[in-house]
Structure 1
Amino acid sequence: MSYLYGGQQQTINPQNVAMAEQELEMVTDTFQRIVDSCYKKCIPTQYLDGELNKGESVCIDRCAAKFFKVNEKVGAALAQKSQ
């Protein structure tokens, strides 16, 4: 595979790998929290259709947008307090 890099040896920094793994865990956790929260708020417990209806889709869109907005505001507040 070294021919892909022009014959140069590539080294992997373990610290970068650890940071990438931590970031992936955080993104996965955030996604899972959004799914759980918005599912509970927007999807009825008894399914009538196999697909989302318009109301459910709109609810999920708004729920996810609010989740990100709140997450952004909390992050900004924490950053301001840490300074």
Structure 2
Amino acid sequence: MSFFLNSLRGNQEVSQEKLDVAGVQFDAMCSTFNNILSTCLEKCIPHEGFGEPDLTKGEQCCIDRCVAKMHYSNRLIGGFVQTRGFGPENQLRHYSRFVAKEKVDDPKN
């Protein structure tokens, strides 16, 4: 969400459009994190009670592999979806106005 708190560009105002985009991004990341958490816990942690307060070495390795696989597949699917034209410019109604405003405000142009 640092795009609306970017200190390199000086003072920027926080608009509702930027907050809307940040909200969508936050919801997507939160959903992805919760999905990874529930899937990996279900797969790697035994259901018959907890005998130890810490994870065992096997549980730690299982969770590490599970999270790595989920993260990789999420990136792979996200890239595929973007190549098919399902990027933010098509799905988020405020995105095109945000990009146009950023190009106008960019001091490099």
TM-score range, shorter chain: 0.7 to 0.9
Structure richer in helix, relative to its length: 1
2:22 matches 1:20: yes
What amino acid maps onto 2:81 in structure 1? L
Measured against aligned partners, the alpha-carbon deviations of 1:21-44 in whole angstroms (never above 9, x if no partner) come to 111111111110010000000000
TM superposition outliers: structure 1 runs of 4+ over 6 Å: none
Identity %: 31
The equivalent of 2:80 in structure 1 is 77
What amino acid maps onto 1:44 in structure 2? P
Measured against aligned partners, the alpha-carbon deviations of 1:34-60 in whole angstroms (never above 9, x if no partner) come to 100000000000222111011000000
The equivalent of 1:45 in structure 2 is 47
CA shift, 1:11, in A, is 3.6
The equivalent of 2:99 in structure 1 is none
User: What is the TM-score of this pair, normalised by structure 2?
Assistant: 0.62
User: What is the TM-score of this pair, normalised by structure 1?
Assistant: 0.80
* C-alpha RMSD of the superposition: 1.9
